[in-house]
Structure 1
Amino acid sequence: MSYKRQLISNGNPMEEIVGFSRAVRVGPFIAVGGTAPVDENGETVGIGNVFAQTTRCFEIIKTALEDAGSGIHDIVRTRVILTDIENWKEAIEARKAYCRECKPVDTIMAIDRFVNPQWLVEIEVDAFVAKG
């Protein structure tokens, strides 16, 4: 069986400069890359607020999944990446609003920092569009 590769863009000019997509769908599988808490102009939202930043990340992810012909209900894995592991509870509180029904597996981890030091969190998800 051969699957076509569908690239999902959200208009970020860096997509062309460095060669990445917001999401990629191959057959029933969709990968959504590290999603930062930015608005339509690339400005950080929720500065200092992990809950607000996590919510914004999931809103961007929701749109990317919908653009790929899917939705939040198809998420099978989330990766919550924080700059301070002590913020995990606030991030998971925001995640619950999107993942309570589909109950994907989850990884929570911390790193030193992101490219933009205002970002406290990035989210990655994988989704699988099941038939029937």
Structure 2
Amino acid sequence: MERIRRIVSSGSPLEPQIGFSRAVRAGNYVAVAGTAPIGDDDSTVGLGDVYAQTVRCLDIAERALEEAGASMEDVVRTRIMLTDVTRWKEAARAHGERFASARPACTFVEVSRFIDPAWLVEVEMDAVSD
């Protein structure tokens, strides 16, 4: 059986340097890598604002899903990584707005830091789409 694999790039200069893709589709499974709140000008969006950063992460991840032939309705799992888990409600608000009907399995975790210290949150997600 031939396995179909498709990669999606966001154009980040880190992708070839690290050797990763924004998203990978293998058959009907789509994985979106840890997505940071980076603006189109490569600056951090929403400095100091967990909600705004989470919205930006979800926007980027949604574009990657669409390029891979999936949608937010196909998402079955999300991971929200925060540098301060006490601010989880701010990220949860953005997540709840975006996933009101899909309601994927979701985990919030605290991490010590990200590549850029201005990032307060990163989002990963997995989807299943025909």
The structural deviation recorded for 1:49 is 0.2
Hey, what does 2:33 align to over in structure 1?
33
Give the alignment's TM-score, normalised by structure 2. Answer: 0.97
Distance in 2 separating the partners of 1:71 and 1:57: 15
Is the counterpart of residue 12 in structure 1 residue 45 in structure 2? no
TM superposition outliers: structure 1 runs of 4+ over 3 Å = none
Residue 83 (structure 1) shift: 0.3
Amino acid at match of 1:75: V
Aligned length: 130
Higher deviation after alignment, 23-32 or 93-102: 93-102
The aligned counterpart of 1:124 is 124
1:100 aligns with 2:96: no
Return the letter of the residue paired with 2:35. Answer: T
Q: Which runs of 5 or more residues in structure 2 are unaligned?
A: none
Partner of 1:64: 64
**Unpaired runs of 5+ in structure 1?**
none
> What displacement does 1:98 show?
1.2
Q: TM-score, normalised by structure 1?
A: 0.95
Q: What is the RMSD of the two structures over their aligned residues, measured on CA atoms?
A: 0.8
Matches of 2:84 and 2:14, distance apart in 1: 26
Counterpart-to-counterpart distance in 2, 1:82 and 1:122: 7
User: CA–CA distance in 1 between the matches of 2:64 and 2:29?
Assistant: 13
| Matched residue type, 1:10 | S
Q: What corresponds to 1:110 in structure 2?
A: 110
Return the alpha-carbon distance in structure 2 between the equivalents of residues 120 and 77 of structure 1.
20
Cα distance, 1:2 vs structure 2:
2.7
- Where 1:76 maps in the other structure, the secondary structure is strand
Shift of 1:3: 2.0
Q: Secondary structure at the match of 1:45?
A: coil
